[in-house]
Structure 1
Amino acid sequence: MEMRSFFGFDVPSNVLKSTIEIDPSRSPFMKERLDVIYEGESFEQLSDLVEQLDLDESTFKVVCLNTIELDATKKIGHPERRKIEREIGLRIQGEPDLDHPKTIYGVLTIDGKWYFGKLVVSEAIWLQHQHKPHMYSTALSTRVARAVANIAAPHPKGVRVIDPCCGIGTVLVEALSMGIDIEGRDINPRVVLGSRKNIAHFGLVGDVATGPIAEVVDNYDVAIIDMPYNLFTHITADEQLEIVKEARRFTKKIVIVTIDTIDHMIEEAGFEIIDRCIAKKGTFSRQVVVCK
């Protein structure tokens, strides 16, 4: 679902080609991005093209990315990968530096074609957020929370987001760390305090208000609602319905996380379900539902 939100489509393989530029560090499911500079029908053709690259004595490193099977293209063994890296590196007008290069370039072959470009490696920022000052066992994992934030605001420039049932701020931390303009709110003052402390713990800045969703007065482009659960809170089905109805008042798009199937509530509130998936945490499953 995150892939569909970012790119408008998904693929069953471990490689996706797109003209849409996404920072791989945003997603817990992306390993790296290759910004293609040259492509060729053969290794020899690609090597000739790489000769055009003049780094003006800037340092660089070349990495062959065929370390695993890429789609239907088989893995290339270590000796052959080193040979590819050396041959491409010798064609570049610059200073090779294997330890501290200014730029890392990637080269790979897939589906019979060869590609060369700047390599952008993902940083697992979400892993750093796993240990918060305030936590509880039923909160979303940081990995899922980050994906949910991306599903809500895949292209966040100019997008205003609210999490009106934010709990301890798991989604808020992930969203704020990616530069998403998000505000939090929760009816429980103690939970709000924990959320604020979690945000501050990671050096982030964000607003978290105390109060029910009924007190939201501004309009937002999208709301993220991790629905309070009957198993863990004293909330009725009618109260869940009211939450969705209130959200319809101030936003035209919501991403709902729920342990129950609440399609009837979503429809009664005036939303249409446009996508959904299942997120699992051990034996515990949640639905992630996108509605407009």
Structure 2
Amino acid sequence: MNETNYFYTFSGYEGERSLMYLEMRSFFGCDSQTGFLESRVKIDPSRSPFMKERISVLSEGTSFDDLLKEIGLLPAFEESFKVKYVKHAGVAKTSEERRAIEKEIGLRINGRADLHDPDRIFGVLNLPDGRWILGDYVKSEPIWHHHQQKPHSYSTALNTRVARAVVNIAVPNPEGIKAIDPCCGIGTVLVEALSMGIDIVGSDRNPLVLGGTRENIAHFGYACEVKLRDMLDITNHYDVAIIDLPYNLCSVISPDQQLKMLQSARQFAEKAVIVTVEPIDNIIMQAEFTIVDRAVVTKGSFIREVIVCK
């Protein structure tokens, strides 16, 4: 059992904060509106488009002086190190104060400081409740941002940041999970899932799009099965389906068609994360899914719902 405490810091655009909190709940079983979250669950911060950094706790004090005493009890470190003060909205410090804190802690650590090319970075965090934390620091890398530069795109497709969060909501722990995107379109969800090592396949009934889908996936060095197939014809079983319901002018579907799609998903998937631009709660219930959580993503007057169903 993992007994290490981890602190994560978060930030998100106003229109995506509901999605950020849903992703938190999927990862950790709870959310936080303070900008940071404490958990014993270890997540690579680069998985999330909202996670900024992670600190694995080595020392903790109820005050700065207590933290300095605890740091003095740590064993010597063979690796070179650097100390970084982790900023957040809950406690304001000037740049001079932050540098002074980093210097004071660095002098107490038994090891070789290297400000330019350290082997190890220690993050220090001052929490609103007065506690001070020191631990190994990992910064999030915006992998999703790189995926914006794909050869083919749709103006109506999910942006890569939202797609990545939706994948995390669907598959917070990839171990042993088989996922499907049965309306994969140009492959935005597939690319994000594959970049996180998730076992996923895709399909779409539109033959005109799948060449671009496969090219997008290959462009980033990934590979997965992508089939020309109507969602109603899927017979294999999956742990989770990620369904971005078609809605643009080329893919208008009626409530009856939506119901048939979700009834099919109910047969081939244990769990579904549905992205929709119109209210479909009644259709979800008719398909015999149960809504367990949800979020709203807004951009101007355009609204998407992300609904978690089991």
Normalized against structure 2, the TM-score is what? Answer: 0.90
> Hey, what's the Cα distance between the residues in 1 that align with 2:291 and 2:265?
14
Letter of the structure 2 residue corresponding to residue 89 of structure 1? G
CA distance in 2, matches of 1:210, 1:12: 42
2:81 is equivalent to residue 64 of structure 1: no
Separation in 1, partners of 2:77, 2:187: 47
Cα deviation, 1:104-123, whole Å, max 9, x if unaligned, reads 00112111111100011100
Which of 192, 215, 218 pairs up with 1:174? Answer: 192
In the alignment, which residue of structure 2 is the partner of 1:39?
60
For residues 212-223 of structure 1, the aligned pairs below 5 Å read 212-223=230-241
Counting only pairs closer than 5 Å after superposition, residues 111-122 of structure 1 correspond to structure 2 as 111-122=129-140
Q: How many residues align?
A: 288
Q: Distance in 2 between matches of 1:196 and 1:20?
A: 34
Which amino acid counterpart does residue 19 of structure 1 have in structure 2? R
Q: Give the aligned partner of residue 75 of structure 1.
A: 92
Equivalent AA in structure 2 for residue 75 of structure 1:
A
Please show how residues 10-25 of structure 1 align to structure 2 within 5 Å.
10-25=31-46
Find the residue that maps to 1:107 and give its secondary structure.
strand
Shift of 1:208: 0.9
What are the equivalent positions in structure 2 for 1:71-220 lying under 5 Å apart? 74-110=91-127, 111-220=129-238
Tell me the residue number matched to 1:290. Answer: 308
Q: 1:129 to 1:281 in 2, by over 3 A?
A: farther
Determine if contact 1:24/1:33 at 8 Å carries over to the other structure.
Answer: yes
User: Quick check: 1:219–1:251 contact (8 Å CA) kept in 2?
Assistant: yes
Q: What is the alpha-carbon distance in structure 2 between the residues aligned to residue 20 and residue 232 of structure 1?
A: 42
Cα distance in 2 for partners of 1:265, 1:153 equals 23
Alignment partner for residue 7 of structure 1, among 11, 20, 28?
Answer: 28
Q: Which consecutive unaligned segments of at least 5 residues does structure 1 have?
A: none
Q: Deviations over 1:177-227 (max 9, x none)?
A: 011111111011221111111111111121111111122221111100000
Report if aligned partners of 1:141, 1:281 keep a CA contact under 8 Å in 2: no
Once the two structures are superposed, what CA deviation does each residue of 1:233-272 show, in whole Å capped at 9, x if it has no partner? 1422221111101101111210000111111111111101
Per-residue Cα deviation, 1:144-166 (whole angstroms, up to 9, x for no partner): 00000000001111111100000
Mean Cα deviation higher: 275-284 or 183-192: 275-284
In the aligned structure 2, how far is the partner of 1:129 from the partner of 1:247?
Answer: 28
Q: CA deviation at 1:136?
A: 0.9
Shift of 1:52: 3.2
Identity of aligned residues (%): 55
Q: Which amino acid aligns with 2:30?
A: F
The answer as to whether partners of 1:164 and 1:184 remain within 8 angstroms in 2 is yes
CA RMSD in angstroms comes to 1.3
SS of the aligned residue for 1:280 comes to strand
Change (3 A) 1:115 1:237: same
Q: Which runs of 5+ in 2 are unaligned?
A: 1-21
